[in-house]
């Protein structure tokens, strides 16, 4: 934790740790976010931002449309655009009592660069690692409109790797393997949470 003094009031404030959750589609980022919420940790979702943008544009939530929105935003404003748009929301939460704030769904190195520039050593990555077949089975079960078929899944994997997601996972400060049960994920998450709080 870092002590930051608000000059206007002279108050000392403990700035929270900022942890971004990364992982390939179906790895379990959403489940980790739920576990974080259950532990009183606020989570901001980059995927929700994309879905909201698609809705704003009047687009149905399909794999093609979600992909189109992401590519459109990145082409028009740069690969860092979602991160830049999310920073004010994280900053607003930083003035609460939360010791940790989590960001779900970081997918590219350009986004990580924005967060590192903003928060320095207070920022870290938590990678959720899961094999491809397990991820595909989970996607079949969750039934989101954006998921589509196996070809859509492969296209999304390729697109997100091009943005640098593989590098983020490889170089993450923390990793949780998620190839087992939800109960095991909960155990591993709680163990990680204890370690980062200490």
DSSP string, 19-86: EEEE-STTSSHHHHHHHHHHTT--EEEHHHHHHHHHHHTT----HHHHHHHHHHHHHHH-TTHHHHHH
Q: Which residues contact 184 (CB under 8 A, 6 or more apart)?
A: none
Specify the residue for token string 């709080």. Answer: 197
CATH of the domain at 154: 3.40.50.300
Per-residue pLDDT reduced to its tens digit, 79-113: 999 999 999 999 999 888 889 999 998 999 999 99
- CA dist 8 and 181 (Å) reads 49
In a domain, 68, yes or no: no
Q: Which residues contact 78 (CB under 8 A, 6 or more apart)?
A: 110
Query: Residue 13 — pLDDT band, cuts 50, 70, 90?
Result: low
Per-residue pLDDT reduced to its tens digit, 151-169: 989 998 998 898 999 999 9
Per-residue pLDDT reduced to its tens digit, 29-83: 999 999 999 999 999 999 889 989 999 999 988 878 888 898 899 999 999 999 9
In a domain, 23, yes or no: yes
How many structural domains are present in the chain? Answer: 1
**Domain containing residue 90:** 2-47+84-193
């Amino acid at each position: 934790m870092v002590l930051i003094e608000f000059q206007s009031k002279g108050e000392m404030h403990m700035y929270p740790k900022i942890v971004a959750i990364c992982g390939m589609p179906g790895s379990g980022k959403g489940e980790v976010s739920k576990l974080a919420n259950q532990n009183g940790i606020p989570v901001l979702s980059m995927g929700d931002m994309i879905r909201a943008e698609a809705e704003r544009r009047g687009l149905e939530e399909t794999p093609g449309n979600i992909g189109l929105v992401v590519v459109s935003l990145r082409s028009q404003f740069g690969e860092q655009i979602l991160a830049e748009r999310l920073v004010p929301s994280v900053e607003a939460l930083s003035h609460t009592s939360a010791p940790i704030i989590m960001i779900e769904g970081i997918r590219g190195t350009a986004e990580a660069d924005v967060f590192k520039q903003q928060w320095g050593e207070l920022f870290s990555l938590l990678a959720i690692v899961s094999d491809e077949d397990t991820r595909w089975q989970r996607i079949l079960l969750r039934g989101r409109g954006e998921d589509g078929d196996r070809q859509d899944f492969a296209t999304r994997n390729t697109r997100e790797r091009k943005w640098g997601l593989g590098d983020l996972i490889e170089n993450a400060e923390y990793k949780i393997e998620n190839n087992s049960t939800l109960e095991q994920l909960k155990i591993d998450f709680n163990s990680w949470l204890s370690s980062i709080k200490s």
